């Protein structure tokens, strides 16, 4: 017999979606367990100021918002543990999750709030130099680049934010974007454009990173093509322009990929992008009854702290309703069995 205790609600992920789900589930007396993965607190812990979260007219630090959220969830009885889910068995209930350290967890309802992790661009040497002058987090590593010339790869809000943060330390910041139009919001794009230390390289991509783990990043090979997407052009045999640049640091700001690998062999449906698919309509339910999705892992479109908090609270409410339904069905089945036994 499996002796592992069964939780009512297990929330995988401790970013803003997981925390919001934890607050709601804990207030409903479901005593949720929150599993904090390899990036506890999620993406907000890597951001500086959050200016668009409701209720903070002066903005709020990402880390501060997450810390307050965790304290709020703990106040109502949510428990936190560290662990990374490797595999999920969802065909039978209670669900069973295997963790990378060999432990397992069992739960009646599962809320997947695993968020998304920084995407890499696929440049040569990135495996070797990640953490040695190549980074996906300016707030974590920016201060190491005082006086350097640095590159930021990407054209969305993340790239603008990285560049603006790096401009506090670096001598110059060049945003390398693979086409001519930014994906970033107008306000962020304007701030980057107006900054005296920030320049743009349009229609360009990073092909190779130079340096070593001893000396760090020393330079890069960029490719460019006037019609954009130069690496695609290069792969199809079109001539592109190459340029070697000397830089002391490179930061990736090219978006995120959802953390759903552990769901690949389950009946939870995943989109081509890897995002967890919820059922149609305003719900966080998935194709597996009792499994719910919240936050960036199920949202390829909005991806805001405030929308993640919203779907987190929805997932907890959906899980609570589902558990109540299950309890009612179970007690109905039990009473029929008792009547039949009496007969």
Q: Which residues bind ligand NAP (CB under 6 A)?
A: 119, 121, 153-159, 161, 178-179, 183, 185, 188, 205, 253-256, 303
Whether the ω angle into residue 307 lies within 30 degrees of 0, i.e. cis, is no
What residue is closest to ligand NAP based on CB? 156
**Angle at CA of residue 261, ends 255 and 265, nearest 5°:** 145
Beta pairing partners, 98: 87, 104
Q: What's the rounded Cα separation, in Å, for the pair 29 and 84?
A: 25
Two structure tokens written together for 103 = 């432990």
Name residues whose C-beta falls within 8 Å of residue 103's C-beta, 6 or more positions apart in sequence.
83
Minimum CB–partner distance for residue 9 and ligand NAP (Å): 27
Minimum CB–partner distance for residue 147 and ligand NAP (Å): 26
Nearest to 140 by CA among 17, 221, 253: 253
Question: Does the annotation count 246 as an active-site position?
Answer: no
Two structure tokens written together for 140 = 């974590």
Question: Does the annotation count 141 as an active-site position?
Answer: yes
Active-site entry in 101, 103, 140, 330: 140
Between 13 and 253, CB nearer to ligand NAP: 253
Question: Does the annotation count 137 as an active-site position?
Answer: yes
Question: Do 32 and 11 meet the contact criterion of CB atoms below 8 Å apart?
Answer: yes
Beta pairing partners, 246: 219
Minimum CB–partner distance for residue 158 and ligand NAP (Å): 3
- Kindly list the distances between the CA atom of residue 86 and the CA atoms of 12, 80, 83, 104, 153, in Å, as whole numbers in the listed order: 12, 18, 9, 10, 31
Minimum CB–partner distance for residue 184 and ligand NAP (Å): 7
Between 93 and 119, CB nearer to ligand NAP: 119
Whether the ω angle into residue 66 lies within 30 degrees of 0, i.e. cis, is no
Two structure tokens written together for 195 = 């900054």
Between 130 and 287, CB nearer to ligand NAP: 130
Between 6 and 121, CB nearer to ligand NAP: 121
Minimum CB–partner distance for residue 259 and ligand NAP (Å): 15
Between 251 and 262, CB nearer to ligand NAP: 251
Between 107 and 259, CB nearer to ligand NAP: 259
**Angle at CA of residue 190, ends 208 and 16, nearest 5°:** 75
Minimum CB–partner distance for residue 126 and ligand NAP (Å): 11
What residues are annotated to the active site?
Answer: 137, 140-141
């Amino acid at each position: 017999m499996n002796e592992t205790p069964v939780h009512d609600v297990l929330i995988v992920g401790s970013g803003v979606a997981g925390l919001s789900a934890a607050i709601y589930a804990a207030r409903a007396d479901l005593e949720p367990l929150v599993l904090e993965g390899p990036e506890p607190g999620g993406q907000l812990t890597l951001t500086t100021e959050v200016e668009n979260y409701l209720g903070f007219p002066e903005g709020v630090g990402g880390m501060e918002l997450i810390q307050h959220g965790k304290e709020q969830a703990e106040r109502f009885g949510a428990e936190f543990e560290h662990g990374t889910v490797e595999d999920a068995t969802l065909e039978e209930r209670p669900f069973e999750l295997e963790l990378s350290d060999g432990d397992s967890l069992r739960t009646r309802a599962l809320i997947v709030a695993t968020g998304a992790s920084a995407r890499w661009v696929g440049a040569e040497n990135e495996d070797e130099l990640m953490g040695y002058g190549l980074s996906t987090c300016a707030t974590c590593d920016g201060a190491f680049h005082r006086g350097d010339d640095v590159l930021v790869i990407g054209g969305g809000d993340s790239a603008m934010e990285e560049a603006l943060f790096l401009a506090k330390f670096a001598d110059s910041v060049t945003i390398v974007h693979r086409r001519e139009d930014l994906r970033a919001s107008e306000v962020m794009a304007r701030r980057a454009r107006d900054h005296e230390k920030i320049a743009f390289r349009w229609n360009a991509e990073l092909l190779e990173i130079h340096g070593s783990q001893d000396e760090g990043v020393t330079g890069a090979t960029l490719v460019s093509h006037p019609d954009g997407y130069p690496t695609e052009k290069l792969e199809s045999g079109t001539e592109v322009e190459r340029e070697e640049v000397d830089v002391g640091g490179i930061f990736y700001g090219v978006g995120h990929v959802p953390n759903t690998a552990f769901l690949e062999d389950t009946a939870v449906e995943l989109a081509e992008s890897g995002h967890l698919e919820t059922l149609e309509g305003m719900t966080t339910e998935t194709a597996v009854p009792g499994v719910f999705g919240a936050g960036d892992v199920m949202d390829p479109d909005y991806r805001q702290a405030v929308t993640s908090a919203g779907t987190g609270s929805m997932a907890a409410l959906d899980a609570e309703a589902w558990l109540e339904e299950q309890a009612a069905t179970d007690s109905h089945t039990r009473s029929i069995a008792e009547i039949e036994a009496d007969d």
